[in-house]
Amino acid sequence: MSEDGPASERAAHRLYETDGEATRDRPWIIRTYAGHSSPRASNALYRSNLAAGQTGLSIAFDLPTQCGYDSDDPIARPEVGKVGVPVNSLDDFHVLFDEIPLEQMNTSMTINGTAMWLLALYVALARERGIDVAQLTGTTQNDLVKEYLARGTYIFPPDASLRIIAEMYEYCLDEIPSWNPSNICSYHLQEAGATPTQELAFALATALSLLDLIKQRGHVTDAQLSRTVGRISFFVNSGIRFVEEMCKVRAFGELWDTYTRDRYGVSDPKHRRFRYGVQVNSLGLTESQPENNAWRILIETLGVTLSRDARARAMQLPAWNEALSLPRPWDQQWSLRLQQILAYETDLLEYPDLFEGSVVVESKVAELVRDATAEIETILGMGGVVPAIESGYLKSALVRSMSDRVSAIGTGEQVVVGVNRWTDGLPSPLVGGDDGGLFTHDEAAIGEAQANLDAVRAARDDARVAAALASLRAAACDGSSMMEPSIECALARVTTGEWAGALREVFGEYRPATGVEGQTLGLAGDRVDALRQRVQALAATLGHRPRLLVAKPGLDGHSNGAEVIAVAARHVGYDVVYSGIRLSPGAIVTSAVEEGVDVVGASVLSGSHVELAQQIVDGLREQGAGDTHVIVGGIVPAADVDKLRAIGVARVFTPADYELIDIMESVTDLVESGPPSADVA
Amino acid sequence: MVNDLIERARSLEKTAVARLIGVFEDSRPAAASDRARALDLLDGAAPDDDPGCTVIGITGAPGSGKSSLLAHLTLALLDDDPALTIAVVAIDPSSTVSGGALLGDRTRMRSPLDERRLFFRSQASATALGGLSPSTFQVCRLLTRLFRCVMVETVGVGQSEADVRHLADRVYLVLQPLGGDEVQFLKAGIVEVPDAFVLNKIDEPAAASSEHHLRASLGLARPFDEVTPAIHRTSARNGEGIDELAAALGDDIRSAPRRSHSDREPHFLLRWVDDEWGRQGRRHLEVDLGGAPALLTRAGGFDRAQVVFDASIRATLHRPSPPGPAP
């Protein structure tokens, strides 16, 4: 509590201004993670969200933009406009931010592998609009560590990726002082199964490794390093165990304060403050009884808002139907209203921290701090987060945690209402509308995005484009900053695919550890034993152990589901071929053919399951391997299940199929039934 | 069915090659006669100037970077020689509990569908330690008749080292920099077998001292070598040394002394007998049948030797043949 003013006139449960006036806190920045189909369609959505009382923008880009491909690249085509907006050039940015005042907007961009490019586009847009670049505020997510571990939209190897992040910090420090060049994400680690301790440790170790690198590069003075520490922000998850989550964000604050003071000598407490934004947990949202998710989202929101000392700075919430499809505008509005009610209707923002002095909370926080510190020191002892990625240490730890979680739900030890308890429910009227409660894409808008790309290529000055790309490559090679050359590329109308392509030539593309080697599953019991015997019997009948190819086609990098299936299949006795993410349907067909597998299992979470499954089935038939079973897992709406069946997909697994043993029994039924007829229409 | 497959496999059509591999991996007794027929057809169709095949073993501990290295080397080799064709067989350990395996070696490999000159196949070792699969030799009998070069990638420990030695014409051991000294190389007993060494990940700080320790260990462990085996220095990460190693492999493929198909058979017949019948089988082979080479000659090849052995030991032990058509 503040020293000035007679303490006797102040109540411990009230907030006061320094002049003694009673006050309440300003709400966090209220956002909705949004973007789809085309820049024009997304612009209309942003403007209507802002009109509905949203106070910042959170941009979702489509996977080609995130992975550095133009919309007309063959690997990109099935994914254009699916999970976000496609951005091919500066002209698309002009449309995307049309009539939105950049200088007043706090813009968060969920962008990683191509973060430098999207920041360059934003700066170039401000320059062309005549806005002072120094006024821009916002965040580029730009945390490649969690991309390698969980999300999958990395492009370059770790060294090159961290260099790009460091260069963005060095550039923003004076050019755009209120920009967060990166957002260290523990969010995706929890989605990948991380425990609270792992979330704390892996995210903080990532931040420390980044700061170590910036310090070691020697481009910043001590005073600048202190400001750089002050620019590091975090993106945190909040799960259903909301008391522990509240303690976790308090532990984050304590650990960050300690490490930045002791390791970098940051004396200004403002620069040591743990600043974070939140999206609450999606992993625990269920497909069955989806209306229950509304309550889960509310409870998870409490975990990151109740404690004033550890309250989120910005928040975006998932929608109740996230396990069914991408959210519709109405679904997003429903989640937005939750934030508004909590911030403006309730008395939450009137009080100081509610948990100060709580023995229970202090003890829990101390435990988390102790365990996380031990893990952070282990990672730093390996030489930091890059060696811990390259050796597969972090990935293996996550795959293990995820397998434990899935096993606990399977055994009923972890209760999920509507999934493993109280599963009988009345039909939900929420999914009874004309659209079945699902989002549908605007196919015409996607065509428009591709047409714009042709127009840009036709109208630009090719010599300027070539020169801009040449200086980008030169900077990448000689170690100088790539930021200004990237801005010139943006102004010259270089495309997203060209920018990433130039750097791919210099840095190469990274293939990380899959994390599945040596993993086991805590799944046992009569059904596992019986299944192993069936698989053994199959091996005798077939003359070989049944072989399963687990495939992640397309650009979607959410590989946790695929990895758990790979581990589970081996657990019951399959020989499993798994080669990691981002494979073209062609590469998957090659693997299936060369490896002579009995079943190809494709996991798709981007909404492109129909196109990708079609390409795999067609490819196998063209190669004379149409007698291979194809199964699909992912977020597949019921209407698409029939489409997939018609294509020739033998089984479709959705989030409702959470029991691994059920899935493996079903796959084994399929193999026992013999190969499919090779020439089904 | 086999006749049609042979024709298509000879032009390296991927589906046909894979299906034939299925025949050579097939554990059912009936598959032996299909194998014998396939080999007869292949040998009959081989031209007089058939260039033959070089088998290269690539061994090394997990994490030494074999897969990344192979991905780079195969592409470099195919670029250098348009007539070259390569099959890679990569072996991963199986679980002792479930029998299943995770086969992840092709993660680093990118072979386009229309590139018939490169074929990649994963195998499960059927043991927890790794090493060759019981069917690796069988599959190599096929692939050596289809490709100019077969590369066998495996974890080189214990018994499997001897297996690779008997299968390959040249064995490369891939090592990663160690923090320790020559004692580690000696204790591991890994320096005695290979024809050449690859010190990978030389971009790592410990690389220089590791090379020194390796050279010192070689002097101690192999004092009778006339020529010190080559030590290739590579980094799959920055590409250093890849071209030089590819050139060395290219030389091996063109000019290293090769085993004939029948050279390899005695060892793997013995291994098969071991796997199927254990010590009792071994004794029967040595004492009653005069040893593997004699049996192979008498029976007329590997597949027939298996049939003869199987019948002979069953008669001795009064065990009936397994169900199914006679092999």
Question: What does the pLDDT look like over B262-308, one tens digit per residue?
Answer: 899 999 999 899 888 899 999 999 999 999 999 999 998 898 899 89
Structural tokens at position A220? 């910043």
Computed from CA positions of residues A392, A395, A398, A404, in that sequence, does the dihedral angle turn out positive or negative?
Answer: negative
Nearest to B140 by CA among B127, B130, B128, B153: B153
Q: What is the mean pLDDT of residues A405-432?
A: 86
Q: What pLDDT, on the 0 to 100 scale, is given for residue B185?
A: 58
Q: What pLDDT, on the 0 to 100 scale, is given for residue A1?
A: 44
Question: What does the pLDDT look like over B188-205, one tens digit per residue?
Answer: 566 677 889 899 888 877
Out of A199-208, A278-287, A411-420, the most confident range is: A199-208
A-chain residues near B18 (CB < 8 A): 593-596, 625
Half-sphere exposure of A172 (CA within 13 A, CB side): 31
Residue among B100, B110, B121 minimizing CB distance to A576: B100
Q: What pLDDT, on the 0 to 100 scale, is given for residue B111?
A: 62
Residue among B28, B98, B111 minimizing CB distance to A572: B98
> Per-residue confidence at A51, pLDDT binned at 50, 70, 90?
very high
Q: Are A112 and A142 in contact (CB under 8 A)?
A: yes
Residue among A540, A573, A624 minimizing CB distance to B15: A624
The residue assigned the tokens 């009109």 is: A51
Q: Do B18 and A594 touch (CB under 8 A)?
A: yes
Question: What does the pLDDT look like over A452-494, one tens digit per residue?
Answer: 999 999 999 999 999 999 999 999 999 999 999 999 999 999 9
Q: Where are the domains of chain B?
A: 1-50, 51-255, 261-317
Over the Cα atoms of chain B, what is R_g?
20
Q: Mean pLDDT check: name the lowest of A100-109, A259-268, B45-54.
A: B45-54
Q: Do A567 and B122 touch (CB under 8 A)?
A: no
The residues on A that touch B, with CB distances below 8 Å, are 157, 391, 511, 514, 516-517, 519, 532, 535-536, 539-540, 543-545, 566-567, 569-580, 586-587, 589-591, 593-596, 619, 623-625
Q: Which residues pair with A15 in a beta bridge?
A: A23
Spell out the long-range contacts of B214-222 with Cβ–Cβ below 8 A and sequence spacing 24 or more: B214/B175, B214/B182, B214/B185, B216/B182, B217/B182, B217/B185, B217/B186, B217/B191, B218/B191, B220/B182, B220/B186, B221/B185, B221/B186, B221/B191, B221/B192, B222/B191, B222/B192
Q: What pLDDT, on the 0 to 100 scale, is given for residue B183?
A: 54
Q: What is the mean pLDDT of residues A256-275?
A: 96
Does the CB of B28 have a partner CB in chain A at under 8 Å?
Answer: yes
Q: Tell me, what DSSP letter sits at residue A466? A: H
Question: What does the pLDDT look like over A150-161, one tens digit per residue?
Answer: 888 899 999 899
Contacts of A186 (CB under 8 A, 6+ apart): A146, A194, A199, A200, A202, A203, A234, A235, A236, A237
CB < 8 Å from A in window 103-162 of B: 103-104, 106-113, 119-122, 124
Instruction: Tell whether the model's pLDDT for residue A680 goes beyond 60.
Output: no
Does the CB of B29 have a partner CB in chain A at under 8 Å?
Answer: no
Q: Shortest Cα distance from B225 to chain A (angstroms)?
A: 36
B-chain residues near A536 (CB < 8 A): 99
Q: Shortest Cα distance from B76 to chain A (angstroms)?
A: 16
Question: What does the pLDDT look like over A279-293, one tens digit per residue?
Answer: 998 878 888 899 999
Q: Mean pLDDT check: name the lowest of A2-11, A345-354, A623-632, B77-86.
A: A2-11
Q: Mean pLDDT check: name the lowest of A23-32, A68-77, A518-527, B276-285.
A: A518-527
Q: Do B14 and A574 touch (CB under 8 A)?
A: no
Q: What pLDDT, on the 0 to 100 scale, is given for residue B279?
A: 92
CA distance A520 to A402: 11
Q: Do B100 and A577 touch (CB under 8 A)?
A: no
Instruction: Tell whether the model's pLDDT for residue A208 goes beyond 70.
Output: yes
Return the residue in B1, B19, B86, B98 with the most chain A beta carbons within 10 A, the one to mutate for interface testing: B98
Q: What is the mean pLDDT of residues A200-216?
A: 96
Q: pTM for this structure?
A: 0.79
Query: What one-character-per-residue DSSP string does A357-401 give?
Result: T-HHHHHHHHHHHHHHHHHHHHHHHTTSHHHHHHTSHHHHHHHHH
Residue among A532, A570, A593 minimizing CB distance to B18: A593
Q: What pLDDT, on the 0 to 100 scale, is given for residue B325?
A: 46
Q: Do A591 and B106 touch (CB under 8 A)?
A: yes
Computed from CA positions of residues A169, A172, A173, A177, in that sequence, does the dihedral angle turn out positive or negative?
Answer: negative
Q: What is the mean pLDDT of residues A319-331?
A: 84
Q: Which amino acid is at A601?
A: G
Question: What does the pLDDT look like over A523-578, one tens digit per residue?
Answer: 778 889 999 999 999 999 999 999 999 999 888 777 778 888 998 999 999 999 99
Return the residue in B70, B111, B122 with the most chain A beta carbons within 10 A, the one to mutate for interface testing: B122
Between A668 and A420, whose confidence is greater?
A668
Out of A297-311, A418-432, B129-143, the most confident range is: A297-311
Terminal CA-CA length for chain A:
75
Nearest CA in chain A to B121: A595
Q: Are A274 and A257 in contact (CB under 8 A)?
A: yes
> Per-residue confidence at A319, pLDDT binned at 50, 70, 90?
very high
Q: Do B104 and A596 touch (CB under 8 A)?
A: no
Nearest CA in chain A to B134: A544
Instruction: Tell whether the model's pLDDT for residue B180 goes beyond 80.
Output: no
Number of CB pairs, chain A paired with chain B, less than 8 A apart: 114
Q: Do B103 and A575 touch (CB under 8 A)?
A: yes
Q: Mean pLDDT check: name the lowest of A338-352, A371-385, B110-124.
A: B110-124
Fold classification of B51-255 is Rossmann fold (3.40.50)
> Per-residue confidence at A395, pLDDT binned at 50, 70, 90?
confident
Residue among A517, A545, A572 minimizing CB distance to B104: A517
Percent of chain A with pLDDT over 90: 68
Question: What does the pLDDT look like over A601-650, one tens digit per residue?
Answer: 999 887 889 999 999 999 999 999 999 999 999 888 888 999 999 999 99
Nearest to B130 by CA among B63, B40, B178: B63
Q: Do A543 and B31 touch (CB under 8 A)?
A: yes
Q: Are A89 and A41 in contact (CB under 8 A)?
A: no
A-chain residues near B323 (CB < 8 A): none
Name all domains of chain A by residue range, CATH numbers in brackets: 7-411 (3.20.20.240), 526-672 (3.40.50.280)
Nearest to A668 by CA among A567, A539, A562, A580: A539
Catalytic residues of A: 33, 187-188, 552, 556, 558
> Per-residue confidence at A2, pLDDT binned at 50, 70, 90?
very low
B-chain residues near A585 (CB < 8 A): none
